[in-house]
């Protein structure tokens, strides 16, 4: 061995980070999202005088805050090459659990903990099946999606749980300073935590390593399956919180609560620049996508566009935002 050649003397120095020039910085996905967001806000405020109203704007955040919480955990799950399609069903299951606990006389202050615990357990079951039997998470969570919501239907049938106590409704209906919904503040808090963990800790780097190459990550000694199990539990945990907030906001539990949310959540994550193949994506990106989606639906709502028509915009936004860079790259290359 030639000990005189230190890594930094070698011609092939591999830097810790790639140098970030102005051009690369401007072409980042997040920049594109900021531009899109500015565009949407400009168009919306020119079309409707009610859009830039502070109270309206603050109030509109409740429509996406619960979904946005799951977007955060889904980002980590997809980053590690998995997917969790059962999140909306976990909401239904946790909400039913909260309703049953309430009927059994559990006090309102404790009900949120019941919902979160059920979410955590449901997520743990997902993660256990995926890692223990080494099966694709998409299939497992399609199964548990059916199972969890199925249990909600078995318990409730065509009934509903209502009359939740005020201490519980507080979480979904309180406005801080009489203006900003508590739900939105909770989302911002979690966004900060997720951002710091993913981009500022060793654990975050481990997740990127697993997402880029799980086999290599395993060979470097990372407990890959334990991380994946943990992420499914995080996903269940966040779904449990979303269940508490949503149930508190609408004040009732029906088995079809949060129906088809999983697809919207995945759409936002992908729109936020997270590769569905794993390994890349950022929290600021998905938070911007959350706002973009929220502002698009809020603006369309002000223009009395029905929800089902909005889905055309959302689907189109998803496809064009992914397709456009690919088309541009192809055109510039030739």
Partner 1 sequence: MSRRPHHREWVLGGLVLSLMLLIGVRAPVFLSWESLDALLTDVSILTMMALAQMLVILTRGIDLSVASNLALSGMVVALLGKAAPDLPLLVLIALAVLNGAVLGIVNGGLIAGLGIPPIVVTLGTLSMFRGLIFVISGGEWISSHEMPAAFLDFPRERLLGLTHLAWLALLMLVLVHFLLKHSRIGRELYALGGNPKAAVYVGIPIARRQLFVYTFTGAVSGLCGYLWVARYAIAYTEIASGFELQVIAACVIGGVSIAGGIGSVAGCVLGALFLGVINNALPVINVSPFWQMAISGAVILAAVVVNSREEKQQGKRILPVSEAPHG
| Binding residues for partner 1 (CB under 8 A) | 83, 129, 133-136, 138-140, 142-151, 153-154, 157, 215, 218-219, 255, 260, 263, 266-267, 270, 276-277, 306, 308-312, 314-316, 318-319, 322-323, 326-327, 330
User: Going by C-beta distance under 8 Å and a sequence separation of 6 or more, which residues neighbour residue 152?
Assistant: 89, 92, 93, 95, 96, 255, 257
Which of residues 241 and 270 has its CB atom nearest to partner 1 in the complex?
270
**3-state SS class at 176:** strand
Nearest approach, Cβ of 274 to partner 1 (angstroms)? Answer: 11
Least separation in angstroms between CB 125 and partner 1? 9
User: Cβ of residue 187: shortest distance to partner 1, in angstroms?
Assistant: 23
Contacts for 106-110 with beta carbons within 8 Å, 24 or more apart?
107/165, 107/167, 108/164, 108/165, 108/166, 108/167, 108/168, 109/167, 109/168
* DSSP-assigned states of every residue in 250-298: H--B-TTTTTTHHHHHHHHHHHTT--TTSS---HHHHHHHHHHHHHHHH
Min separation Cβ 213 and partner 1, Å: 11
Q: How far is the CB of 173 from partner 1 (least distance, A)?
A: 29
Taking the complex as a whole, the smallest distance from the CB of residue 247 to partner 1 amounts, in Å, to: 20
Burial class (CB in 10 A: 0-12, 13-18, 19+), 103: exposed
How far is Cα 121 from Cα 123, in angstroms, rounded to an integer?
Answer: 5
Work out how close the CB of 139 gets to partner 1 at its nearest, in angstroms, rounded to a whole number: 5
Residues linked to residue 181 through DSSP beta bridges, in sequence order: 175
User: Based on CB atoms, which residue is closest to partner 1, 114 or 300?
Assistant: 300
To the nearest 5 percent, what fractions of the chain are helix, strand and coil?
A: 70, 0, 25
CB nearer partner 1, residue 181 or residue 279: 279
Region of residue 159 (phi > 0: left; psi between -120 and 50: alpha; otherwise: beta): beta
Handedness of CA 35, 41, 45, 47 (dihedral sign): positive
Six token digits for residue 272 = 């936020």
Instruction: Report the residue number, 131 or 247, with the smaller CB distance to partner 1.
Output: 131
Q: Which is nearer to partner 1, 202 or 326 (CB)?
A: 326
Choice between 134 and 202, CB closer to partner 1 = 134
Comparison of 20 and 309: residue with beta carbon closer to partner 1: 309
User: From the CB of 276, what's the least distance to partner 1, in Å?
Assistant: 5
Question: Among residues 81 and 102, whose Cβ is nearest to partner 1?
Answer: 81
CA separation for the pair 155, 97 (Å, rounded): 9
């Amino acid at each position: 061995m030639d000990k005189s050649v230190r890594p930094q003397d070698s011609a092939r120095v591999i830097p810790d980070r790639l140098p970030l020039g102005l051009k690369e910085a401007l072409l980042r996905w997040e920049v594109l999202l900021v531009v899109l967001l500015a565009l949407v806000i400009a168009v919306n405020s020119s079309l409707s005088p009610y859009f830039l109203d502070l109270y309206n704007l603050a109030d509109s955040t409740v429509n996406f805050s619960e979904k946005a919480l799951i977007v955060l955990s889904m980002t980590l799950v997809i980053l590690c090459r998995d997917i969790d399609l059962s999140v909306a069903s976990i909401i239904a299951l946790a909400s039913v659990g909260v309703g049953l606990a309430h009927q059994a006389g559990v006090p309102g202050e404790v009900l949120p903990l019941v919902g979160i615990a059920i979410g955590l357990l449901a997520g743990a079951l997902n993660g256990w099946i995926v890692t223990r039997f080494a099966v694709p998470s998409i299939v497992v969570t399609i199964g548990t999606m059916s199972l969890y919501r199925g249990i909600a239907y078995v318990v409730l049938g065509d009934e509903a749980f209502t009359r939740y106590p005020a201490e519980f409704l507080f979480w979904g209906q309180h406005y801080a300073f009489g203006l900003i919904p508590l739900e939105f503040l909770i989302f911002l808090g979690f966004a900060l935590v997720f951002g710091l963990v993913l981009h500022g800790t060793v654990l975050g780097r481990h997740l990127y390593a697993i997402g880029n190459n799980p086999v290599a990550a395993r060979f470097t000694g990372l407990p890959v399956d334990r991380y994946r199990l943990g992420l499914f539990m995080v996903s269940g945990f966040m779904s449990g919180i979303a269940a508490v907030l949503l149930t508190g906001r609408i004040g009732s539990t029906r088995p079809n609560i949060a129906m088809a949310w999983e697809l919207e959540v995945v759409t936002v994550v992908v729109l936020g620049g997270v590769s569905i193949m794993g390994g890349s994506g950022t929290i600021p990106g998905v938070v911007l996508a959350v706002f973009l989606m929220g502002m698009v639906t809020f603006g369309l709502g002000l223009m009395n566009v029905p929800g089902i028509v909005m889905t055309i915009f959302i689907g189109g936004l998803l496809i064009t935002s992914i397709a456009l860079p690919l088309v541009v790259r192809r055109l510039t290359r030739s």
